[in-house]
Amino acid sequence: MDSKNIIPLNNDSRRCIFFKTDSDDYRCVVILTVKRATGTFSLIGCFFMLFVIWLLRRYHSLAQKMICSLTVAAFFDSVAYVMGDTHPEGSLCNFQAWWLTYFDWSALAWVCLITVNLYLNLVKEMSTSHYELLYHLMAWGVPLVMASLPLFSGYYGPAGAWCWITDDHVAWRFGIWYVPLFTLIFLMICCYARIIYVANERMQSWFGTFNPERERRKVSLAEEIKPLKWYPSVYLLVSLFPLINRLHNAFYPQDPVFSLTLLHVLSAPLHGLANAFVFGLDRDTWSQLSPTGIQLALQSRLCDRTRIREYHPGAVHYTQAELGDFSDEDDDDTNVLFYSPDMTLKDRGP
């Protein structure tokens, strides 16, 4: 989550604290530039996801609402990575550190809850629609506790390219973020292994006489698992280099590796962009994003003028129908109750 190789100095100059000479200052500029670029790409990816969710109305089922909430959390998390420059110690720095910790945790919480929800639906065969409020309390409440603990303890401050837990509290860095992160990733991978195993067992057990409903369920099951199983992998990939760099910093605080720091700031802000790639694995979504599909969806969203209005009937002239106009062989009642000039009778079916 952080890069501690950079600190702000006077006159807005930036130096890498482990590279003493002026010739090494370019490394700080590279790291800050990469950090802003990856944060911006994630911001764009999240905005794209939110736009598609709004455009295609992907917010009706509980699973769709959870993915939407994950996208919102990742969007605000990306804002923290492009938030200004390095800050001196103070309230603004503490706010940025709290913001980053809160939305990092919130995005992770939604990924975990999506996994739990899928497990309950497919393995335990439980309906989870009544858990929506509980999911929100957990996804927004637990991060609030985790982000506030270092704030109240005074452990936030300048930590490199962004503010986070300072270099003097390495144990808090691992206790607040890295240890829970990789523990939850491991548990999610185990959970998805169980989900895939159960799903395969069910697909095998469905062999036999053709049943359209059963085949539909089989396809739906495979399509539901396919994109969601990549979310834990995304967090594993984007968190691997930050962990390696933090471990190296903890064991060799006076001998940082610039390449590890660069990989750290390159991968840490990519949660939002990586989530957008996973979201794009849904073929049904892409099939609706053709030029024609987008045009129709926009018309539906922006030009839908359907209104429920009071009905005002026009003048109706009642008359007796001429029974001779209809066939005597018709067993149905042939009496026409009313007739108006604008009315046409066609194709009297059974």
pLDDT tens-digit profile of 255-293?
777 788 888 888 888 888 888 888 777 777 777 777 887
Give the mean pLDDT of 330-345: 40
84-93 — which CB contacts under 8 Å span 24+ positions?
85/8, 85/32, 86/6, 86/7, 86/8, 86/14, 86/32, 86/158, 86/160, 86/161, 86/162, 86/163, 87/8, 87/158, 87/163, 88/8, 88/158, 89/157, 89/158, 93/156, 93/157, 93/158, 93/163
Contact call for residues 321 and 334 (beta carbons, < 8 A): yes
Give the mean pLDDT of 203-225: 60
Ramachandran category for residue 314: left, alpha or beta (phi over 0 → left; psi -120 to 50 → alpha): beta
| 273-300 burial code (b ≥16 CB/10 A, e <16) | bbbbebbbebeebeebeeeeeeeebeee
Give the mean pLDDT of 156-167: 79
pLDDT score at 6: 44
- Between 54-58, 79-83, 222-226, the lowest mean confidence (pLDDT) is in 222-226
pLDDT score at 337: 34
pLDDT score at 84: 56
| Dihedral, 12, 16, 17, 21 alpha carbons, nearest 10 | -100
Contact call for residues 288 and 54 (beta carbons, < 8 A): no
Which string of DSSP letters, residue by residue, matches 122-185?
HTS----GGGHHHHHHHHHHHHHHHHHHHHHHT-EEE-BSSEEE-TT-HHHHIIIIIHHHHHHH
Check pLDDT > 90 for residue 21: no
* pLDDT band, residue 158 (cuts 50/70/90): confident
Residue written as tokens 């968190």?
A: 239
Which of the two residues, 157 and 132, has the higher pLDDT score? 132
Check pLDDT > 50 for residue 327: no
φ/ψ of residue 179, rounded to 5:
-65, -50
Q: How many CA atoms lie within 13 A of 179 on its CB side?
A: 8
Cα 167 to Cα 128, 161, 172, 253, 347, distances in angstroms: 42, 13, 10, 9, 84
pLDDT score at 138: 96
Check pLDDT > 60 for residue 114: yes
| Dihedral, 1, 238, 226, 134 alpha carbons, nearest 10 | 0
Contact call for residues 97 and 150 (beta carbons, < 8 A): yes
Give the global pTM. 0.74
pLDDT score at 121: 83
Which of the two residues, 159 and 72, has the higher pLDDT score? 72
Q: Side chain identity at 326, as an amino acid letter?
A: F
pLDDT score at 160: 67
Q: Which residues pair with 158 in a beta bridge?
A: 163
What mean pLDDT is reported for the chain? 75
- Between 57-71, 82-96, 157-171, 318-332, the lowest mean confidence (pLDDT) is in 318-332
Q: Which residues pair with 3 in a beta bridge?
A: 160
Which string of DSSP letters, residue by residue, matches 234-287?
HHHHHHHHHHHHHHHHHH-TTS--HHHHHHHHHHGGGHHHHHHHHHTT-HHHHH
pLDDT score at 112: 92
Which of the two residues, 86 and 127, has the higher pLDDT score? 127
* pLDDT band, residue 145 (cuts 50/70/90): very high
Contacts of 294 (CB under 8 A, 6+ apart): 55, 288
φ/ψ of residue 148, rounded to 5:
-85, -25
How many residues belong to the chain? 350
Question: Coil, helix or strand for 315?
Answer: coil
Q: Over the stretch 164-185, which tens digit does the pLDDT of each residue have?
A: 888 788 889 899 999 999 899 8
Give the Cα separation of 96 and 39 in Å (integer).
14
Token code pair at residue 337 = 């109750």
Q: What share of the chain in percent tops pLDDT 70?
A: 69
Give the Cα separation of 37 and 78 in Å (integer).
11
Q: How many CA atoms lie within 13 A of 165 on its CB side?
A: 22
pLDDT score at 159: 74
* pLDDT band, residue 134 (cuts 50/70/90): very high
pLDDT score at 219: 59
